[in-house]
Structure 1
């Protein structure tokens, strides 16, 4: 019989560190300090009698014992959540909007992180343009949104900033003397407006060659060889290249990704914190 059971908060801290690869991100997800997370891990390691995490200057790695313990730690937390849900009553609902320019290939992993934070939380995710999602947020149709910084707004929490570039398919050539063919998203897309204004200011003739209903459609047009598009690198399919320097196109700025949230109650607040930390980690990588 185990004389002292494991501290579930410490186990949760270890799982966050392992999944996010960072003490800082784990602290953000738990809405606490890095020192608190480190202390919880230290106590867990002392209780287990082994080192779970190997710390390096740039990142953290699991030890052999940590990798073996991780699966059991997840199972322990899942069993706890199922047991707690028996008496928890009705499931809480959390409606989140994520901009199409933000919801990249990491979205399945981000959703999994939120579910791991609280499997009993009913999460509804809506994908759309930043402008449309902000309007829905202001109408209180969404509890939180993660969007590109919208012109004229300074509220919200900046999660990260992403570099954009002018991307085209490998081998694509701009025909001399013709306007630059640009694939875009429809208005009110802020990236579309920004790209057009920068081209106009630089005196680069351009024309819309394709208007897609989302980043996936715009990326498909780029890879089909229709023209160029202003996109973040992590949103691109394999094989796209940045042709901005070669064509002398204006440099695109780093664009902030902003969280707007009115969620104050736990566990939805904890799920938003976990999503934000996971997103920072994904974009950083």
Structure 2
């Protein structure tokens, strides 16, 4: 009874977090119709209406909200009981571009850990070109990178990243002087994309800060040191897109692509949970 209850209760946290039967089905490696049927059976067993369905999304009802935390506790207890037999944990190595992670790393790690407690995840964060090279050399089980002019077709697009010129709200630019930029050292495809756009538009620029990842570049931007070309999804929450105000050229979007060498059910579930976590952070400035 506990095992059966935990199996059905696992649906509520997934549906609540992903706000979609389709996404929940993907995360649990099943079908939307199966999720709908199992939610219906759970509601019938409880005698309560747990979810509200709208054309745009699924959300919890009042009873669903009340049920959510006990459901999470039941799932955790079930996993703990099953894990008491000392099963060997699987290890999967994932490489990810720092332009994909941004400031959402803690959120992403929690989502992945909650969805895959029996998997030891090793995460390596580097520039996209180094991540993809390591994947091709067999050093990674999966790679999540920004696609820059690469025409390879063996990956799965997670989302399309929009880029903008971000700066602190009180950032001031003197048109008589070169635009102050915060970038990454060469080689960096986002740096090249930004500089090419400025050069083509005939806008003078100068690098005043070199960072070792999106977090450090974001800190420089938040401090008002410079402008940076960043994905709007991963930019700090306290900055704005100043491209229009400063007359800067538009930046092209880039696909975020997942490459995976492991295709078994457990690996697919883990990679899907990572992809869902990244996709759920989509926002704009």
Alpha-carbon spacing, 1:38–1:133, altered in 2? closer, same or farther (3 Å): same
Q: Distance in 1 between matches of 2:212 and 2:236?
A: 17
Report the CA distance between 1:59 and its aligned residue: 2.2
Q: CA RMSD in A?
A: 2.1
Tell me which residue corresponds to 1:249: 248
Question: Which of 65, 68, 84 is matched with 1:67 structurally?
Answer: 65
CA-to-aligned-CA distance 1:192-219 (integer Å, 9 cap, x gap): 1111111122222222222111111112
Report the CA distance between 1:21 and its aligned residue: 1.8
Tell me which residue corresponds to 2:217: 218
Q: Distance in 2 between matches of 1:9 and 1:201?
A: 57
Question: Which of 49, 52, 68 is matched with 1:51 structurally?
Answer: 49
Indicate if the aligned counterparts of 1:160 and 1:256 stay in contact, CA closer than 8 A.
Answer: yes
Question: Which of 98, 102, 109 is matched with 1:100 structurally?
Answer: 98
Tell me which residue corresponds to 1:260: 259
Indicate if the aligned counterparts of 1:100 and 1:127 stay in contact, CA closer than 8 A.
Answer: yes
Unaligned ranges ≥5, structure 1: none
Tell me which residue corresponds to 1:185: 184
Q: Distance in 1 between matches of 2:33 and 2:168?
A: 46
Q: Distance in 1 between matches of 2:27 and 2:109?
A: 14
| 2:156 is the counterpart of 1:157 | yes
CA-to-aligned-CA distance 1:242-266 (integer Å, 9 cap, x gap): 2211221111122211111112223
Q: Distance in 1 between matches of 2:105 and 2:114?
A: 14
Report the CA distance between 1:8 and its aligned residue: 4.2
Deviates more, 1:80-89 or 1:207-216: 80-89
Q: Distance in 2 between matches of 1:163 and 1:234?
A: 7
Indicate if the aligned counterparts of 2:102 and 2:215 stay in contact, CA closer than 8 A.
Answer: no
Deviates more, 1:80-89 or 1:135-144: 80-89
Report the CA distance between 1:224 and its aligned residue: 2.8
Alpha-carbon spacing, 1:162–1:99, altered in 2? closer, same or farther (3 Å): same
Q: Distance in 2 between matches of 1:247 and 1:284?
A: 22
Tell me which residue corresponds to 1:37: 35
Question: Which of 76, 79, 91 is matched with 1:78 structurally?
Answer: 76
| 2:21 is the counterpart of 1:23 | yes
Runs of 4+ displaced beyond 4 Å: none
The normalised TM-score by structure 1 is 0.91
Unaligned ranges ≥5, structure 2: none
Tell me which residue corresponds to 1:201: 200
Q: Distance in 1 between matches of 2:142 and 2:210?
A: 28
Tell me which residue corresponds to 2:277: 278
